[in-house]
Amino acid sequence: MAAGSRGAEHLIEMRGITKIYPDGTVALRGVDFYVRRGEIHGLLGENGAGKTTLMKILSGLLRPTSGEIWVNGRKVSFKSASEALKMGIGMVHQHLALVQVFTVYENIVLGLKAEGDARLRIEKLMEETGLKVPLDVRIENLPFGVRQRAEILKMLYRNVDVLILDEPTTNLTPVETDELFETLRRLKNQGKTVIFITHKLREVLEVTDRVTVLRNGRVVGVVETSKATPQQLAKMMVGREVVFTVSKPPREPGEPILEVRDLWVRNDLGEWAVKGVSFTVKAGEIFGIAGVEGNGQSELIQAITGLRRPEKGRILLEGRDVTGFPPSKLYRMGLGHIPEDRQGLGLVLDMNVAENSILGVQRGRRFMGKFYNLLWSSIRRHASQIIERFAVVAPSLDAPVRSLSGGNQQKLVVGRELSKEPKLIVAAQPTRGLDVAATEYIRKLLVDMRTRGKAVLLVSADLDEVLQLSDRIAVMYEGEFMGIARPEELTREQIGMMMGGYRLAGG
């Protein structure tokens, strides 16, 4: 082996990896990432820290803008995932790459030359690794945990030495998670190397040998897990300087506007996504929900805004029970909803600016005549007002919304929702992907609304945003609130711990 002294120690060396996406987003800034042979290596970080991007580069799905990758002491440059696979590097994604209508067996051998003893080899693999999967059942008929095992088997069958797992426990039950960890330990004992991407502190501490912490596209530190504490990791993960601040005049909250009582909601897979959440948002208050994405925030918002039916619990709007009400009814009662997915939910991209400016209020008296006819002149006036008041840059009212920039699309959504003069504003990830100016502007608008006596429910994966804007904060983890407190009562460390699954003491 023509390896340097390091090559012997490190199976994988990624040196100075920078990744700039075509739209100018800088995902990674000179990352050095080293993995030892035969270890379980945790890759820890918040959303958008660059974990997945880094691993997609290692597995050949993305090409770095600059930087070098060395595997086994040899410099490599992967042009595709199959090239990485040939070098023994395979990645199991959050969204599994399995053909739904094929059986497990068919998925495992898919794309490979027929081998007489394929089945025997798979059965032997299952024996060795403890990954038990029914080979002749179609993927679509299997629960998620089993599908994941099938995907791992598929990688092992392809003789992978380095197994990359991207947030593998997101959709697993606690028992399945334990089983997965057991499997990972076995693989390690057989000499495989595992890279484990996660944001969950507990899991990192439980299963990994070493951890690399990423923040904002940079490596914050590498630690031996046995010497690490959750406090230390939490601080590394979220501790960062505040970029800019929004001035927030003090205000006494008023009457309760939104009350959520012991709410239980299932996700699309039928699993519990929200587990007994209770809170109140008062007039003149911003209630922020922090937490890593995918911990039930989306389902909670959907239940409150009428897009998903809760299984148990009550939602009250100004004291009236509105559980299970459709969006149209909630809008009439004073709900404004800035959805997290503006392009897929908040706008009809192929409709024009004027048409989008009335989405949700199209049956309002201002826009609909006696014969259910649209009052176009009134609609256009409304759209121009939004454009003017909220500084939306649009070529014309007849331009399809698709042609607007992301920031202007969001300003149109925000403008539309705020111009309803709602009593309750639900804002989910309101500034995601926006530039600094648009971000600041939208945050100001939300604070203005609160100061004018509206109730604001803010959900954001951006911790700074939640900390700056909110009067009270809840941190959500796996469908539950880890605690509710005023932002000044919390240290970043505490929030980081709560985001990683530790309850606020006494909370």
Partner 1 sequence: MERQKLIESLYRFAEIMVALIAGFAISGVIMWLGGYDPIKAYRAMLGTSILTTDPYNLAMTLSFSAPIMFTAITFAVGVRAGVFNIGAEGQMYVGALGAVLVAAMSLPGPLYLPLAILFGSLLGALWGAIAGVLKAYKGVNEVVSTIMLNWIAFWVVEYTRVDLLPNPRDPSKTIEMPEPGRLPILLKGTELTASIVLAVVVTLLSYYLLWHTVLGYEIRATGMNPRAARYGGINPERAVLWSFIIGGIAAGLAGVCEIAGRPPHYAITTGLSNLFGYGFDGITVSLIGANHPLGIIPAAIFVGGLTAGARGMQIVAGVPLEMVKAVQGVIIIALAVPGLLRLLKTRLTRGGG
Give the interface with partner 1 as residue ranges (CB under 8 A): 305, 307, 326-328, 331, 337, 339, 344-351, 355, 359-363, 368, 371-374, 376, 395-396, 398-399, 403
Q: Which C-beta is closer to partner 1: that of 244 or that of 376?
A: 376
Among candidate residues 49, 123, 126, 61, the one with its CA nearest the CA of residue 91: 61
What number of other Cβ atoms are within 10 A of residue 333's Cβ? 14
User: DSSP secondary structure string, 438-504?
Assistant: HHHHHHHHHHHHHHTT-EEEEE-S-HHHHHHH-SEEEEEETTEEEEEE-GGG--HHHHHHHHTTPPP
Burial class for 381, CB neighbours closer than 10 Å (0-12, 13-18, 19+) = middle
Opening angle at CA 289, ends 442 and 219, nearest 5: 85
Q: Among positive and negative, which fits the CA dihedral 238, 240, 244, 250?
A: positive
Q: Which C-beta is closer to partner 1: that of 253 or that of 306?
A: 306
Closest contact distance (angstroms) between CB of 392 and partner 1 is: 14
Closest contact distance (angstroms) between CB of 292 and partner 1 is: 24
User: Could you tell me if 258 and 457 are in contact, meaning their C-beta atoms sit under 8 angstroms apart?
Assistant: yes
Among candidate residues 400, 425, 406, the one with its CA nearest the CA of residue 341: 406
Closest contact distance (angstroms) between CB of 397 and partner 1 is: 9
- Measured between alpha carbons, how far is 215 from 476 in angstroms, rounded to an integer? 20
Q: Which C-beta is closer to partner 1: that of 360 or that of 407?
A: 360
Q: Which C-beta is closer to partner 1: that of 172 or that of 349?
A: 349
Closest contact distance (angstroms) between CB of 159 and partner 1 is: 34
Closest contact distance (angstroms) between CB of 185 and partner 1 is: 39
User: Could you tell me if 472 and 281 are in contact, meaning their C-beta atoms sit under 8 angstroms apart?
Assistant: no
Closest contact distance (angstroms) between CB of 409 and partner 1 is: 12
Closest contact distance (angstroms) between CB of 53 and partner 1 is: 25
Q: Which C-beta is closer to partner 1: that of 208 or that of 409?
A: 409
Q: Which C-beta is closer to partner 1: that of 181 or that of 325?
A: 325
Closest contact distance (angstroms) between CB of 100 and partner 1 is: 13
Torsion of the alpha carbons at 489, 494, 500 and 504, rounded to the nearest 10:
-60
Q: Which C-beta is closer to partner 1: that of 184 or that of 347?
A: 347
Which residue reads 């970080």 in tokens? 45
Q: Which structure tokens are listed for 356?
A: 């989008």
Q: Which C-beta is closer to partner 1: that of 316 or that of 374?
A: 374
Using the CB atoms, write b or e for 292-330: b if 16+ within 10 Å. Answer: bbbbbbbbbbbbbbbbbebeebebbbbeeebbebeeeeb
Closest contact distance (angstroms) between CB of 372 and partner 1 is: 5
Q: Which structure tokens are listed for 466?
A: 């939640």
Q: Which C-beta is closer to partner 1: that of 366 or that of 452?
A: 366
